[in-house]
Structure 1
Amino acid sequence: MTATSGALLGIFVGGAARRMNGYPKGLLATSAGGTSIVKHLVRLGNEMGMAPVFVGDAAVYAEEAPGVVALADAPANIGPLGGLAALFAHAREGHVIAVACDMPFVTRDVLERLRAHPSEAAVLAARRTAEGPFEPFLARYDVHRAGAALAVCLRDGARSFQRLFASCDVTEWSLSEEERAAWNDWDAPDDVPEWARP
Protein backbone atom coordinates (compact mmCIF):
# COMPACT_ATOMS: atom_id res chain seq x y z
CA MET A 1 0.00 0.00 0.00
CA THR A 2 1.45 3.38 -0.97
CA ALA A 3 1.03 6.79 0.60
CA THR A 4 -1.55 7.72 -1.99
CA SER A 5 -3.67 4.60 -1.63
CA GLY A 6 -6.09 3.70 1.15
CA ALA A 7 -5.64 4.43 4.82
CA LEU A 8 -7.59 3.58 7.92
CA LEU A 9 -9.06 6.35 10.13
CA GLY A 10 -8.55 5.75 13.84
CA ILE A 11 -10.76 7.96 16.01
CA PHE A 12 -9.30 8.04 19.52
CA VAL A 13 -12.10 8.21 22.08
CA GLY A 14 -10.27 7.21 25.26
CA GLY A 15 -9.69 9.40 28.26
CA ALA A 16 -11.91 10.56 31.09
CA ALA A 17 -12.49 14.09 29.68
CA ARG A 18 -11.72 15.50 33.13
CA ARG A 19 -11.21 19.03 31.82
CA MET A 20 -14.65 18.76 30.18
CA ASN A 21 -16.13 17.75 33.55
CA GLY A 22 -16.52 14.18 32.33
CA TYR A 23 -18.70 14.98 29.32
CA PRO A 24 -17.75 12.84 26.28
CA LYS A 25 -16.08 15.33 23.96
CA GLY A 26 -17.00 13.39 20.84
CA LEU A 27 -20.69 14.11 21.53
CA LEU A 28 -20.18 17.87 21.22
CA ALA A 29 -21.83 19.30 18.10
CA THR A 30 -19.71 20.53 15.22
CA SER A 31 -22.14 23.40 14.55
CA ALA A 32 -25.29 24.87 16.08
CA GLY A 33 -27.89 22.14 15.82
CA GLY A 34 -25.42 20.02 13.88
CA THR A 35 -24.03 16.54 14.11
CA SER A 36 -21.65 15.32 16.79
CA ILE A 37 -17.90 15.32 16.28
CA VAL A 38 -17.69 11.52 16.20
CA LYS A 39 -20.54 11.22 13.73
CA HIS A 40 -18.85 13.85 11.54
CA LEU A 41 -15.52 11.99 11.61
CA VAL A 42 -17.14 8.62 10.94
CA ARG A 43 -19.01 10.06 7.97
CA LEU A 44 -15.81 11.51 6.53
CA GLY A 45 -14.03 8.20 6.92
CA ASN A 46 -16.83 6.28 5.23
CA GLU A 47 -17.13 8.76 2.37
CA MET A 48 -13.40 8.48 1.74
CA GLY A 49 -13.24 4.70 2.00
CA MET A 50 -11.04 4.94 5.08
CA ALA A 51 -12.82 2.39 7.31
CA PRO A 52 -13.27 4.45 10.49
CA VAL A 53 -12.71 2.67 13.81
CA PHE A 54 -12.98 3.87 17.39
CA VAL A 55 -9.90 3.46 19.56
CA GLY A 56 -10.50 3.20 23.30
CA ASP A 57 -13.65 2.82 25.40
CA ALA A 58 -16.32 3.71 22.84
CA ALA A 59 -19.44 2.45 24.64
CA VAL A 60 -20.87 5.96 24.98
CA TYR A 61 -20.67 6.42 21.19
CA ALA A 62 -22.44 3.21 20.17
CA GLU A 63 -25.73 4.96 19.37
CA GLU A 64 -23.99 7.78 17.51
CA ALA A 65 -22.19 5.44 15.13
CA PRO A 66 -23.75 1.98 15.13
CA GLY A 67 -21.65 -0.70 13.51
CA VAL A 68 -18.33 1.11 13.82
CA VAL A 69 -15.62 -1.24 15.08
CA ALA A 70 -14.28 -0.32 18.52
CA LEU A 71 -10.75 -1.34 19.48
CA ALA A 72 -9.76 -1.73 23.11
CA ASP A 73 -6.26 -0.60 24.03
CA ALA A 74 -3.83 -3.51 23.72
CA PRO A 75 -1.90 -3.50 25.94
CA ALA A 76 -4.40 -1.90 28.29
CA ASN A 77 -3.81 0.68 31.01
CA ILE A 78 -0.75 2.30 29.47
CA GLY A 79 -2.37 5.33 27.83
CA PRO A 80 -2.87 6.12 24.14
CA LEU A 81 0.12 4.09 22.94
CA GLY A 82 -1.94 1.02 23.83
CA GLY A 83 -4.62 2.34 21.51
CA LEU A 84 -2.11 2.97 18.75
CA ALA A 85 -0.80 -0.58 19.10
CA ALA A 86 -4.36 -1.92 18.78
CA LEU A 87 -4.93 0.26 15.72
CA PHE A 88 -1.76 -1.04 14.05
CA ALA A 89 -2.75 -4.63 14.78
CA HIS A 90 -6.20 -4.05 13.29
CA ALA A 91 -4.89 -2.33 10.15
CA ARG A 92 -2.08 -4.88 9.64
CA GLU A 93 -0.49 -2.90 6.77
CA GLY A 94 -0.44 0.44 4.96
CA HIS A 95 -1.13 3.70 6.76
CA VAL A 96 -3.41 4.77 9.56
CA ILE A 97 -4.50 8.33 10.24
CA ALA A 98 -5.10 9.11 13.90
CA VAL A 99 -7.56 11.80 14.91
CA ALA A 100 -8.98 12.68 18.30
CA CYS A 101 -12.68 12.73 19.09
CA ASP A 102 -12.41 16.40 20.14
CA MET A 103 -11.35 17.72 16.70
CA PRO A 104 -14.53 19.29 15.22
CA PHE A 105 -12.89 21.10 12.30
CA VAL A 106 -11.39 18.18 10.37
CA THR A 107 -12.42 18.34 6.71
CA ARG A 108 -12.36 15.92 3.83
CA ASP A 109 -9.80 18.05 1.98
CA VAL A 110 -7.42 18.04 4.93
CA LEU A 111 -7.71 14.28 5.41
CA GLU A 112 -7.11 13.76 1.70
CA ARG A 113 -3.95 15.89 1.77
CA LEU A 114 -2.69 13.97 4.76
CA ARG A 115 -3.49 10.62 3.15
CA ALA A 116 -1.84 11.59 -0.17
CA HIS A 117 1.30 13.23 1.25
CA PRO A 118 4.34 11.69 -0.50
CA SER A 119 6.40 11.19 2.67
CA GLU A 120 7.69 7.67 3.21
CA ALA A 121 8.58 8.32 6.85
CA ALA A 122 7.22 6.22 9.67
CA VAL A 123 5.20 9.20 10.90
CA LEU A 124 3.84 12.36 9.29
CA ALA A 125 2.94 14.86 12.01
CA ALA A 126 2.67 18.58 12.74
CA ARG A 127 3.90 20.85 15.51
CA ARG A 128 1.99 23.60 17.32
CA THR A 129 5.07 25.81 17.33
CA ALA A 130 8.32 25.76 15.37
CA GLU A 131 10.26 24.24 18.27
CA GLY A 132 7.40 22.33 19.85
CA PRO A 133 6.93 18.57 19.97
CA PHE A 134 5.25 16.61 17.20
CA GLU A 135 1.54 16.16 17.84
CA PRO A 136 0.10 12.62 17.72
CA PHE A 137 -3.32 13.43 16.25
CA LEU A 138 -4.27 14.47 12.76
CA ALA A 139 -1.11 12.53 11.99
CA ARG A 140 -0.34 9.60 9.67
CA TYR A 141 1.51 6.45 10.69
CA ASP A 142 3.09 3.73 8.58
CA VAL A 143 1.84 0.53 10.19
CA HIS A 144 5.03 -1.50 9.66
CA ARG A 145 7.67 1.17 10.25
CA ALA A 146 5.98 3.00 13.12
CA GLY A 147 4.72 -0.33 14.42
CA ALA A 148 8.23 -1.73 14.73
CA ALA A 149 9.36 1.37 16.64
CA LEU A 150 6.28 1.19 18.86
CA ALA A 151 6.97 -2.45 19.72
CA VAL A 152 10.45 -1.50 20.93
CA CYS A 153 9.07 1.42 22.95
CA LEU A 154 6.49 -0.78 24.66
CA ARG A 155 9.09 -3.46 25.37
CA ASP A 156 11.28 -0.84 27.02
CA GLY A 157 8.43 0.53 29.11
CA ALA A 158 7.94 3.79 27.18
CA ARG A 159 4.46 5.26 27.48
CA SER A 160 4.60 8.53 25.53
CA PHE A 161 4.15 9.49 21.90
CA GLN A 162 7.27 11.65 22.16
CA ARG A 163 9.39 8.60 22.96
CA LEU A 164 7.90 6.92 19.90
CA PHE A 165 8.62 9.92 17.69
CA ALA A 166 12.21 10.09 18.97
CA SER A 167 12.74 6.46 18.00
CA CYS A 168 11.63 6.63 14.36
CA ASP A 169 11.76 8.95 11.36
CA VAL A 170 9.14 11.70 11.37
CA THR A 171 8.31 14.05 8.51
CA GLU A 172 6.99 17.40 9.68
CA TRP A 173 3.69 18.33 8.09
CA SER A 174 3.87 22.09 7.48
CA LEU A 175 0.29 23.19 7.92
CA SER A 176 -1.57 25.62 5.69
CA GLU A 177 -4.04 27.95 7.40
CA GLU A 178 -6.92 25.60 6.53
CA GLU A 179 -5.01 22.62 7.89
CA ARG A 180 -4.09 24.46 11.08
CA ALA A 181 -7.75 25.32 11.66
CA ALA A 182 -8.74 21.68 11.14
CA TRP A 183 -6.11 20.58 13.62
CA ASN A 184 -7.51 22.58 16.55
CA ASP A 185 -9.37 20.70 19.26
CA TRP A 186 -11.88 21.29 22.01
CA ASP A 187 -10.04 20.15 25.10
CA ALA A 188 -11.75 22.20 27.82
CA PRO A 189 -15.03 24.14 28.28
CA ASP A 190 -13.40 27.46 27.40
CA ASP A 191 -12.48 26.05 23.96
CA VAL A 192 -16.10 25.29 23.13
CA PRO A 193 -18.59 27.84 21.71
CA GLU A 194 -21.61 28.42 23.93
CA TRP A 195 -23.99 26.75 21.46
CA ALA A 196 -21.95 23.52 21.63
CA ARG A 197 -21.59 23.30 25.41
CA PRO A 198 -23.49 20.48 27.15
Structure 2
Amino acid sequence: MAQKLILPINKMRVTAGYKNANYRKDFGYTHYGVDVTDKDRKDKRVWGSGNGEVTHAGWHPSGGNVVVVVYKECEAKNGKWYDIAMRYYHLDSINVKVGQKITKDTVIGNYGNTGSSSGAHLHIEVDHDIKYPNYTPQTSKSNSVLKSGTDSTLNPVDVLWCKASAPDKQSVHNAGYNTVTVNDLDYKVTK
Protein backbone atom coordinates (compact mmCIF):
# COMPACT_ATOMS: atom_id res chain seq x y z
CA MET A 1 0.00 0.00 0.00
CA ALA A 2 1.27 3.47 -0.89
CA GLN A 3 2.15 5.99 1.78
CA LYS A 4 1.17 9.64 1.71
CA LEU A 5 4.17 11.84 2.47
CA ILE A 6 3.25 14.71 4.76
CA LEU A 7 4.69 18.19 5.20
CA PRO A 8 8.02 18.39 7.07
CA ILE A 9 6.85 21.43 9.08
CA ASN A 10 3.44 21.31 10.78
CA LYS A 11 2.44 24.98 10.37
CA MET A 12 4.27 25.48 7.08
CA ARG A 13 4.74 29.02 5.75
CA VAL A 14 5.77 29.07 2.08
CA THR A 15 8.28 31.81 1.17
CA ALA A 16 9.29 30.69 -2.36
CA GLY A 17 7.60 28.33 -4.78
CA TYR A 18 8.76 25.63 -7.16
CA LYS A 19 10.27 27.03 -10.40
CA ASN A 20 8.64 30.38 -9.63
CA ALA A 21 9.23 32.93 -12.45
CA ASN A 22 9.61 35.83 -10.00
CA TYR A 23 12.26 33.88 -8.10
CA ARG A 24 14.24 33.49 -11.31
CA LYS A 25 13.80 37.20 -12.06
CA ASP A 26 14.83 38.27 -8.53
CA PHE A 27 17.72 35.83 -7.97
CA GLY A 28 18.83 34.91 -11.51
CA TYR A 29 18.34 31.15 -11.40
CA THR A 30 15.61 28.49 -11.33
CA HIS A 31 14.35 27.40 -7.93
CA TYR A 32 13.90 23.61 -8.01
CA GLY A 33 12.20 23.28 -4.65
CA VAL A 34 10.14 25.24 -2.15
CA ASP A 35 11.41 27.43 0.67
CA VAL A 36 9.49 27.28 3.92
CA THR A 37 9.57 28.22 7.60
CA ASP A 38 7.11 27.57 10.39
CA LYS A 39 4.25 30.08 10.53
CA ASP A 40 5.31 31.69 13.82
CA ARG A 41 9.06 31.16 13.27
CA LYS A 42 9.37 29.57 16.72
CA ASP A 43 9.31 25.80 16.03
CA LYS A 44 12.22 25.07 13.71
CA ARG A 45 11.88 21.29 13.85
CA VAL A 46 11.92 19.49 10.49
CA TRP A 47 10.04 16.19 10.61
CA GLY A 48 10.24 13.11 8.42
CA SER A 49 7.48 12.97 5.85
CA GLY A 50 6.82 9.23 6.10
CA ASN A 51 8.66 5.90 6.23
CA GLY A 52 12.05 6.37 4.61
CA GLU A 53 15.79 5.90 4.85
CA VAL A 54 18.50 8.54 5.11
CA THR A 55 20.93 8.16 2.19
CA HIS A 56 23.09 11.28 2.68
CA ALA A 57 23.68 13.73 5.52
CA GLY A 58 26.31 16.40 6.02
CA TRP A 59 27.74 19.69 4.82
CA HIS A 60 27.51 21.16 1.31
CA PRO A 61 28.92 24.61 0.37
CA SER A 62 25.66 26.03 -1.01
CA GLY A 63 23.10 23.69 0.64
CA GLY A 64 24.65 24.03 4.11
CA ASN A 65 23.66 21.15 6.38
CA VAL A 66 21.77 18.77 4.08
CA VAL A 67 19.82 15.54 4.59
CA VAL A 68 18.61 13.29 1.75
CA VAL A 69 15.88 10.71 2.44
CA VAL A 70 14.43 8.10 0.08
CA TYR A 71 10.75 7.28 0.57
CA LYS A 72 9.29 4.26 -1.28
CA GLU A 73 5.79 3.81 -2.78
CA CYS A 74 4.46 7.33 -2.27
CA GLU A 75 1.02 8.36 -3.46
CA ALA A 76 0.94 11.57 -5.49
CA LYS A 77 -1.95 13.97 -5.93
CA ASN A 78 -2.64 12.40 -9.37
CA GLY A 79 -3.15 8.95 -7.77
CA LYS A 80 0.12 7.52 -9.14
CA TRP A 81 2.79 5.99 -6.92
CA TYR A 82 6.41 7.10 -6.96
CA ASP A 83 9.61 6.29 -5.13
CA ILE A 84 10.77 9.71 -3.94
CA ALA A 85 14.06 11.28 -2.89
CA MET A 86 13.63 14.36 -0.70
CA ARG A 87 16.49 16.77 -0.11
CA TYR A 88 16.40 19.10 2.90
CA TYR A 89 18.80 22.11 2.76
CA HIS A 90 20.05 24.83 5.14
CA LEU A 91 19.51 22.86 8.35
CA ASP A 92 20.88 24.44 11.52
CA SER A 93 21.39 20.97 12.95
CA ILE A 94 21.13 17.37 11.75
CA ASN A 95 19.59 14.75 14.07
CA VAL A 96 19.81 11.69 11.76
CA LYS A 97 22.59 9.65 10.17
CA VAL A 98 23.11 7.79 6.92
CA GLY A 99 21.34 4.41 6.88
CA GLN A 100 18.84 5.42 9.57
CA LYS A 101 15.20 4.44 9.01
CA ILE A 102 12.83 7.30 9.76
CA THR A 103 9.08 7.91 10.11
CA LYS A 104 6.88 11.00 10.14
CA ASP A 105 7.63 11.24 13.87
CA THR A 106 11.42 11.51 13.40
CA VAL A 107 12.98 14.95 13.83
CA ILE A 108 15.47 15.22 10.96
CA GLY A 109 16.92 18.44 12.34
CA ASN A 110 16.13 22.11 12.73
CA TYR A 111 15.93 24.48 9.79
CA GLY A 112 18.49 27.25 9.76
CA ASN A 113 20.63 29.64 7.76
CA THR A 114 23.56 27.46 6.63
CA GLY A 115 25.23 27.42 3.22
CA SER A 116 24.07 29.95 0.61
CA SER A 117 21.09 31.29 2.50
CA SER A 118 19.84 34.80 3.24
CA GLY A 119 17.77 33.87 6.30
CA ALA A 120 16.63 30.90 8.37
CA HIS A 121 14.45 28.57 6.26
CA LEU A 122 14.15 25.05 4.87
CA HIS A 123 14.61 24.36 1.16
CA ILE A 124 12.80 21.14 0.14
CA GLU A 125 13.39 19.33 -3.14
CA VAL A 126 11.39 16.33 -4.32
CA ASP A 127 12.87 14.04 -6.98
CA HIS A 128 11.75 10.78 -8.56
CA ASP A 129 15.35 9.69 -9.32
CA ILE A 130 16.17 7.44 -6.34
CA LYS A 131 19.12 5.79 -8.13
CA TYR A 132 21.00 9.08 -7.63
CA PRO A 133 19.10 10.68 -4.73
CA ASN A 134 21.74 13.33 -3.99
CA TYR A 135 22.00 14.64 -7.59
CA THR A 136 20.34 18.05 -7.90
CA PRO A 137 19.97 20.73 -10.59
CA GLN A 138 20.01 23.37 -7.81
CA THR A 139 23.80 23.56 -7.49
CA SER A 140 26.89 23.49 -9.69
CA LYS A 141 29.07 22.53 -6.70
CA SER A 142 29.56 18.83 -6.01
CA ASN A 143 30.76 16.94 -2.97
CA SER A 144 29.80 13.64 -1.28
CA VAL A 145 26.51 15.07 0.08
CA LEU A 146 25.12 16.80 -3.04
CA LYS A 147 26.18 16.46 -6.66
CA SER A 148 25.31 18.64 -9.63
CA GLY A 149 22.77 16.82 -11.82
CA THR A 150 19.99 17.18 -14.35
CA ASP A 151 16.41 18.13 -13.51
CA SER A 152 14.19 15.19 -12.53
CA THR A 153 12.46 17.13 -9.74
CA LEU A 154 8.75 17.14 -9.01
CA ASN A 155 6.66 19.94 -7.61
CA PRO A 156 6.39 19.26 -3.84
CA VAL A 157 2.73 20.35 -3.95
CA ASP A 158 2.05 17.30 -6.17
CA VAL A 159 3.52 14.68 -3.80
CA LEU A 160 3.30 16.07 -0.25
CA TRP A 161 0.07 16.02 1.76
CA CYS A 162 -1.16 18.28 4.54
CA LYS A 163 -2.10 16.05 7.51
CA ALA A 164 -4.77 18.11 9.26
CA SER A 165 -5.64 15.56 11.96
CA ALA A 166 -3.98 15.13 15.37
CA PRO A 167 -1.28 14.85 16.44
CA ASP A 168 0.20 16.72 13.46
CA LYS A 169 -2.60 19.29 12.81
CA GLN A 170 -0.79 20.62 9.76
CA SER A 171 -1.60 23.80 7.85
CA VAL A 172 -0.12 25.80 4.96
CA HIS A 173 0.36 29.58 5.02
CA ASN A 174 1.39 32.19 2.47
CA ALA A 175 4.34 34.42 3.37
CA GLY A 176 2.98 37.02 0.95
CA TYR A 177 6.13 37.32 -1.18
CA ASN A 178 6.01 37.67 -4.97
CA THR A 179 7.81 34.30 -5.15
CA VAL A 180 4.68 32.47 -3.95
CA THR A 181 1.55 31.81 -6.03
CA VAL A 182 -1.81 30.28 -5.09
CA ASN A 183 -0.62 27.03 -6.73
CA ASP A 184 2.31 26.86 -4.29
CA LEU A 185 -0.19 26.55 -1.43
CA ASP A 186 -2.41 23.89 -3.00
CA TYR A 187 -1.40 20.92 -0.81
CA LYS A 188 -4.07 18.23 -0.73
CA VAL A 189 -5.37 17.44 2.77
CA THR A 190 -5.25 13.93 4.26
CA LYS A 191 -6.32 12.54 7.64
| TM-score for both structures, normalised by structure 1 | 0.26
Which structure shows the higher strand fraction? 2
Give the TM-score, by structure 2 length: 0.27
Flag the structure with larger Rg: 1
- Normalized per residue, the structure richer in helix is 1
